[in-house]
């Protein structure tokens, strides 16, 4: 009896790992899949510049997933930062996504215009928040 339960549980776990069909983006949503050249400035609480690559690897309906790999330059020097991306396309012109360079998401809201995304970002912190602007240009 225990062996039968084990087989059923294992079969159920394996079934959960099968891929789920992904719906195409709704007609009013543009495809943003691919690599984007990313540049951002931080204006608060201190100044910094970030440059690198944003990659959107999955666009399932309006849901987005991917990653960000940047070099951050501030008064203390230069460092590489990488993180995951998750978010959504709001409509054909607006993206709303978080990039997790730490355990806290850096929320980006941007406007899509042909092959570029431009907008602002904010990251809540213990004593206020970090914020700035960003632009991403599609890499052909």
Q: Does the residue 15 lie in any domain? A: no
Does the predicted model carry a pTM greater than 0.75? yes
Find, among 91, 92, 93, 87, the residue nearest to 121 by Cα. Answer: 87
At 70 the pLDDT is 98
**Is there a domain that residue 17 lies in?**
no
Domain assignment present for residue 82? The answer is: yes
CATH of the domain at 110: 2.40.128.120
Instruction: Judge if the upstream peptide bond of residue 91 is cis by omega within 30 degrees of 0.
Output: no
Residue 31 resides in a domain? yes
Count of structural domains within the chain: 1
Q: Are 59 and 31 in contact (CB under 8 A)?
A: yes
pLDDT tens for the chain, 140 residues long, are 455 444 443 443 344 333 445 766 666 678 899 999 999 999 999 999 999 999 999 999 899 999 999 999 999 999 999 999 999 999 989 999 999 998 999 999 999 999 999 999 999 987 789 999 999 999 99
Domain extent at residue 69: 22-138
Question: Does residue 8 fall inside a structural domain?
Answer: no
Tokens linked to 117:
């995304």
| φ, ψ dihedrals at 9, nearest 5° | -65, -45
């Amino acid at each position: 009896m225990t062996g039968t339960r084990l087989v059923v549980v294992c079969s159920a776990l394996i079934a959960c790992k099968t891929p789920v069909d992904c719906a195409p983006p709704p007609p009013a949503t543009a495809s943003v899949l691919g690599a984007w050249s990313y540049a951002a400035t931080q204006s608060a609480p201190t100044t910094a510049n970030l440059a690198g690559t944003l990659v959107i690897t999955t666009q399932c309906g309006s849901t987005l997933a991917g990653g960000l790999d940047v070099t951050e330059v501030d008064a203390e020097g230069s460092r590489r930062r990488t993180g995951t991306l998750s978010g959504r396309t709001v409509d054909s012109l607006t993206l709303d996504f978080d990039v997790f360079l730490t355990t806290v998401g850096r929320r980006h809201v941007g406007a899509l215009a042909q092959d570029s995304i431009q907008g602002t970002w904010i990251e809540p912190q213990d004593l206020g928040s970090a914020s700035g602007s960003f632009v991403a240009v599609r890499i052909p």
